[in-house]
Structure 1
Amino acid sequence: MNVMLKTGVATLALIASGVAALAADKVVMQIDGAAVPFYSPLYAGVENGFFADQDIEVEFIYAGASDILTNIAAGNVDFGFPNGDAVVAAAANGLPVKVVHTTYQRGIGALLAKAETGIETYADLKGKTVAVTSLGSPNYLQLQVGLQDAGLSLDDIKLEVVSTGAIVQALQSDQVDAIVFSELRKYNLEGAGVDVTMILSNDFLPSFGNVVVTSSRLLEENPDLVKRFTNAVTASYEWVIDGHVDDALEISFEKYTPTWADQKELLSTAFKNSFVASVWQSDLTREKGLGAADLDAWQANADILAKYEVVDEAPKAADFVVDPSSIGE
C-alpha cells in the first residue's frame, strides 16, 4: 500500500511537472545586429533561469533595427531589442510598436576616428569618408543630425556602408576616415594600439541605446506576458550589475559568442566603465528600477529628430513608450 501510495504521489508530481513545463510561454526576441557579448545579460538571464522563473522560454534571433520593428508591428516576433532612435522613426511612420523597457538609459552611438586624422568635431568631416553599417541603422540617423548640427549635410562627405563585422577593421586599416557606430568599439581599437578620438552622439542627440519593444497588440492582449518578460530582463541586468560582469561574459563565450573569448579583459573594462557606470543605470533607475522610462527625454529625442527632418513629424512619447512599472495596471 505504501509503495503504491508513493508511486501515485511520484506520478502526480511528474504530471504536475510536465504541466508546468508545458505552461511556459515560448517567445521570440529579435536582437539588433548579431550575437555579440554586449548582449550577455540576456544570455545570462536564460542560462541562470531568470526567464524560466517567469515561465518564459525565449529564443533569440537577429536582424537590423528597422527590420526588427517591421517584424514586431507585423506580429512576426514577440519582442525586439533595437536602438531607441530607430523606434522613434518607426513610431513616426505609424508602426504600432511600444517600448516596454528602456534598458539603455542613454545612447551609445559615437563617431570614432583615428586621432592622427585630426577629426575632432563633426565639422572636420567635410570631404572625409565616413562609414555606417546600413542606411536603416540608428547610427545613420545620428550621422545626419551630427552633420546638420555642424552646418553640413551628407553631400559634404563620402558615405560608405560597411557591415557590422567589418566596420571597425575598415577604420583601423584606413579604408575610411571615420565611423559612426558604438562607443564600445573604442575599447577594441585602443586594445589594438590605435589612438582614437570619440564624439558621443548623445552629446548632441539625447537618445537611448537598445530597448525592449513589443507590439501594441501584444501589450493590449497579454500584458501579463509582457510584464513577466520585462521582469526577467530586469533580473538579468541586475545580476550583471551586482558584480557579475565577468560571469556573464563567460556564459556568453561558452554558449553564444565563442569567437570573442580572447577579448574578455577588454570587454570587462567596457562593461564596467560604460554599461554598468552610466548606460544601464541612471538617477531615474535608482529611483524607479531598471528599464524606467523618462518620457521627457524620449520626447526630446523625437523632437530633435523632427527638427533636423530625420523624421517628418515627432511622435508623442506617451503614445509609444511605457514604463515597466505601469504594465498591467
Structure 2
Amino acid sequence: MIQFRATTVASLIALSASPLFAITAEAADKVVLQIDGAAAPFYAPLYAGVEKGIFEKNGIEVEFIYAAAADILTNIAAGNVDFGFPNGDAVIAAAANGLPVKVVHTTYQRGIGALLAKESSGIKSYKDLKGKKIAVTSLASPNYLQLQVGLQQAGLKLDDVSVEVVATGAIIPALKAEQVDAIVFSELRKYNLEADGTKVTMILSNGFLPSFGNVVVTSDKKLAQNADVVKRFTTAVTQSYQWVIDGHTSEALDITFSKYTPTWPKDQKGILTTAFEQTFIPSVWQSPLTQQKGLGAADMGGWQKSADILAQYKVIDSAPKAADFVVDPSTIGQ
C-alpha cells in the first residue's frame, strides 16, 4: 500500500504598520480516502490530483488506503475513515441495510460491466447466448446480476445457458482460448483483447441495468458536521478529474505508474490511455448530466432505478429512496 500526504497550505499575511511579513502555516484538513480494491492506474486522476497540488489548493491532505467495497462502507458508517470510493451497487446495499452513508460525488456516471465475446462466436445479442457457456467471476458479483437481467430481457433463463465461475485473472484467457463462449465482466478488458489482436463483440450492461461505478461516499455525521471539508474534498475530486479530461491522460498515468502502481507493467500504458480516451473520459466520468451540472452530478432517477432493480432481483430486501443516500455535490453546504 502506498500512502501520500500532501504538504500543508501556507498563507502569507501582511502585518499592518510594518514592512515585515509573517508566514503562518495554515494546516490542511487531513482525510483518509479508502479506495475499492487495490492501487490501480484506473484511479490516476486521484493520484495526479495529489501530486499536482489540487487537493492541497483546496486545503485537503489525503491518505489513500484500500479495502473491499463492503468493508469501506462499514468503515465509513463507523467513522473509521473519512471518505470511501466503492462501487455504486455496494452503496445501495449498505443504504438498504440502514448504514448511515451518503454518496457525495457520483464520479462514475455509469457502470462499466459488459458482455464480451469473440466476433467469430456469432454472438451479437443476449438472444444469441442460448446454449452457450458464459463466465462470470462470482455468483455474488454485479456481473452475474447483469447476466440474469440481460437474459430475462432477451426472453431467456439461466437454465438456457451454462454459467461458469472463473477467477478474475483467468477470465480473459478463458475467453481467448475459447474455453467459454462469452464473459460478463468489465468493458475495459475489451482493450486488452483488441491489443492482442482479438476482435470483440461488446454489449454494455448499463443499457438495460443502470448502475454506477466508483463514487465518493462519506457518513451522514461527517456531511452534517463537516460540510465545508466535504465540499472542498469533492471540489478537489472534480478538479482532479477535469485536469485529466483536459488533455493530461499521459501525465496522469506517468505519475501513477511511478509513484502509486510501480508493479504494473509499463507496457499497459498504451492500453490504459486508449481506455481513458475512448471510454472513461467521454462516457464514464462525463455524461449529458455533467455537461449541465458539473462532474460528479447525481442522477437521482438513475440511482433510484438501480436500487429498484436490485430489490426486484432480491439482491436487497427493499429499495432505499435515492434521496435518502445520494447528494448532488452542488448542494453540499447549502
- SS at 1:218's partner residue? helix
Q: Secondary structure at the match of 2:297?
A: coil
- Equivalent positions of 1:52-201 (< 5 A) are 52-201=56-205
Cα contact 1:37–1:260 (8 A) shared by 2: no
Superposed displacement of residue 134, structure 1: 3.8
Q: Deviations over 1:223-247 (max 9, x none)?
A: 1221111011001001001111111
- The 1:140–1:95 alpha-carbon spacing in structure 2 relative to 1, beyond 3 Å, is farther
Residue 155 (structure 1) shift: 5.0
1:230 and 1:297 map into 2 onto residues whose CA distance is: 20
Q: Which moved more, 1:189-198 or 1:155-164?
A: 155-164
Match for residue 315 of structure 1 among 283, 308, 320: 320
Q: Percent identity?
A: 73
Can you give the 5+ residue segments of structure 1 that lack an aligned partner in the other structure? 1-8
Q: Distance in 1 between matches of 2:94 and 2:52?
A: 33
CA–CA separation in structure 1 for the residues paired with 2:38 and 2:135: 18
Question: For 1:38, which of 38, 42, 59 is the aligned residue?
Answer: 42
1:293 Cα deviation after fit = 0.8
* Partners of 1:33 and 1:64 within 8 A in 2: yes
Q: Tell me the distance in 2 between the aligned counterparts of 1:160 and 1:75.
A: 39
CA distance in 2, matches of 1:49, 1:322: 26
What residue identity is the alignment partner of 1:213? Answer: V
- Structure 2 counterpart of 1:269, from 257, 262, 274: 274
Indicate the residue corresponding to 1:4 in structure 2: none
Cα distance change of structure 1 residues 81 and 176 upon mapping to structure 2, 3 Å threshold:
farther
Does 2:249 correspond to 1:260?
no
**Runs of at least 4 residues off by over 6 Å:** none
Rounded Cα–Cα distance in structure 1 between residues aligned with 2:140 and 2:77 = 16
Q: Cα distance 1:194–1:320, how it changes in 2: closer, same or farther (>3 A)?
A: same
Contact 1:145 1:305 in 2 (8 A): no
What secondary structure, in the 3-state scheme, does the structure 2 residue paired with 1:277 have?
A: helix
Q: Greater helix share, 1 or 2? A: 1
Q: Distance in 1 between matches of 2:320 and 2:177?
A: 40
Query: Over aligned residues, Cα RMSD in angstroms?
Result: 2.3
Q: How many residues are treated as equivalent by the alignment? A: 314
**2:332 aligned residue:** 327
Partner of 1:306: 311
1:198-217 deviation line (CA, Å, top 9, x unaligned): 11011101222211111222
